[in-house]
A and B are shown apart, each in its own frame.
Chain A
Amino acid sequence: MSDFKHIQTAHCENGVTVNLLQQQGLDFLNEPLAFGIGSGLFYIHIPFLKVNGGPGISFRSMPGAIFKRTCKALDVKVERKKFKSREAAKRYLDQKVDEGIPVGCQVGVFHLMYFPKEYRFHFNAHNLIVFGREGDEYLVSDPVMETTTRLSAKDMEKVRFAKGALAPNGHVYYPVQAGQITEEKLRQGIITGINRNVRDMLRIPTRFAGVRGINHTAGKVRKWRAQHGERKAGLFLGQIVRMQEEIGTGGGGFRFIYAAFLEQASEIFGNDKLIGISEQFTKSGDLWRDSALQMAGIYKGRITDQKHFEECADIMNEISALEKQAFKDLSKIKLG
């Protein structure tokens, strides 16, 4: 327990993945690598889902996918459990922690008391690591926090049994066994991760997701002002910005993390072309930031004409085209 090393990352799931696997001896692993191997980059404008009447958008793949894929690629066996009974859930966690095993927990953030109140919504796909307990308190390593924190047993039960969409049901998980990671296995993991990401962004058969999904949202943005009025349309834009930039994305809707991944991949494979594609994703991240800035002008009430909404949508169309090209270029590179 005392030798537990807290690692802060941009995103909680990347962080839990990196931290738990480093405990298993995979010292080389870091956030961009885990994110890339787990094919974390994505875009989806979720159809039929309304969040406060506005759009539900995600810039990353499904919760849980990054951890699962990265472990699989690196041949790490994972033990997972969900619970009906709160008592059984606590007994299991206590037992593992007492055995000295750091455990990943899926939690809801509404009752997560070490978060600022402003951030505590009913969001149930947050992840943290429990690495010990003292008296009535658990020692917690939350990857988005700068330092380790603590939670009382009562609060721990609340967050593990939060309700609503993606309810965690006490979900815990931890790697049980990791073999030797050869250079070859790492390379293969990177290749698989890239190919899967190319497929998800270019060839997913729906107009709501991938690079086409970005254009879908752009089309909506053009109509919102007429449909919902300035105030509501502005709130919807604010919602996009929050999904894109809030804690966990590393800025620019995860695009900078992906660019950092490709930079590392370029070194691992000794392939300079990957640096060029990394640059394209940096550009995309910068454009997402520009788009957020433009949207902020609207929801601050400074510029609220239709043409300003059009400008936001134009940037999104530009991003879609840019990412389409970047993934096409990526698919053409022969690695390994």
Chain B
Amino acid sequence: MKKKELPQDDSPLENFTREVCYVKNEDGKYEKGLSSGWEVKTVALENAWEEIERRTEEAKQKVLNGEASPVLYYLELKLMDLPVLVGYTGFRRWQIKRHMKPAVFNKLSDKKLQRYADVFEVTLEDFKNFNI
């Protein structure tokens, strides 16, 4: 990539930083160049976020319909997957899967629920009652 071809598009990096890319200068030698962003990847990132929002909305509907517990909703909202949630809560994978069922969730002790609430950064009351 030539130095003058280095994209300087708008991106979420604005006001945070510019990123280093390696480009060829006029003498055909490599040097560091700074780029504010490239539209091609900004769109890819935006799409990834739209997908996260879509999944979160889907999870929200499932909770409202009584098909899943708030654990699923917050898992999506906080961009987690099972291994991440296992790491943060200390619960086993199979336990978390059970806790995603409303019937099981409704019988969980406050102590267990608090562990989730802490990880999801919400109050116990809001978590239990799905106040979002």
CB distance from B81 to the nearest CB of A (A): 7
Judged by a CB distance under 8 angstroms, whether A202 is at the interface is no
Main secondary structure of the interface of B (DSSP, over half): mixed
CB within 8 Å of A: which of B46-61?
47-49, 51
Check B1–A289 contact: CB distance below 8 A.
Answer: yes
Of A163, A239, A289, the residue contacting B48 (CB under 8 A) is: A239
Check B20–A9 contact: CB distance below 8 A.
Answer: yes
CB within 8 Å of B: which of A1-46?
8-10, 31-32
Of A119, A252, A299, the residue contacting B44 (CB under 8 A) is: A299
Judged by a CB distance under 8 angstroms, whether B40 is at the interface is yes
Chain B residues with CB under 8 A of A296? 39-40, 43-44
Chain B residues with CB under 8 A of A285? 1
Chain A residue with minimal CB distance to B22?
Answer: A256
Judged by a CB distance under 8 angstroms, whether A105 is at the interface is no
Chain B residues with CB under 8 A of A242? 41, 44-45, 48
Known: A251-B22, A293-B40. A115 touches B16 (CB 8 A): yes
Scoring A163, A242, A260 by chain B CB atoms within 10 A of each residue's CB, the highest score goes to A163
Known: A234-B47, A238-B48, A241-B44. A114 touches B16 (CB 8 A): yes
Chain B residue with minimal CB distance to A11?
Answer: B20
Of B12, B17, B39, B41, the residue contacting A145 (CB under 8 A) is: B17
CB within 8 Å of A: which of B5-36?
6, 12-13, 16-24, 29-30, 32, 34-35
Chain A residues with CB under 8 A of B18? 146
CB distance from B7 to the nearest CB of A (A): 9
Check A241–B40 contact: CB distance below 8 A.
Answer: yes
Check B20–A8 contact: CB distance below 8 A.
Answer: yes
Chain B residues with CB under 8 A of A263? 29-30
Check A245–B88 contact: CB distance below 8 A.
Answer: no
Chain A residues with CB under 8 A of B47? 234-235, 238, 299
Known: A110-B79, A238-B47, A242-B48. A257 touches B22 (CB 8 A): yes
Judged by a CB distance under 8 angstroms, whether A152 is at the interface is no
Judged by a CB distance under 8 angstroms, whether A246 is at the interface is yes
Chain B residues with CB under 8 A of A110? 79
Judged by a CB distance under 8 angstroms, whether A270 is at the interface is no
Expressed in whole angstroms, the Cα–Cα distance for A260 and B51 within the complex equals 36
Judged by a CB distance under 8 angstroms, whether B103 is at the interface is no
Judged by a CB distance under 8 angstroms, whether B108 is at the interface is no
Judged by a CB distance under 8 angstroms, whether B80 is at the interface is yes
Task: Sample 11 A-B pairs with CB under 8 A, ordered by A number.
Answer: A52-B48, A52-B51, A119-B45, A163-B86, A238-B43, A238-B47, A238-B48, A251-B6, A263-B29, A299-B43, A299-B44
Q: Which residues of B contact A (CB under 8 A)?
A: 1, 6, 12-13, 16-24, 29-30, 32, 34-35, 38-41, 43-45, 47-49, 51, 79-81, 83-84, 86-88
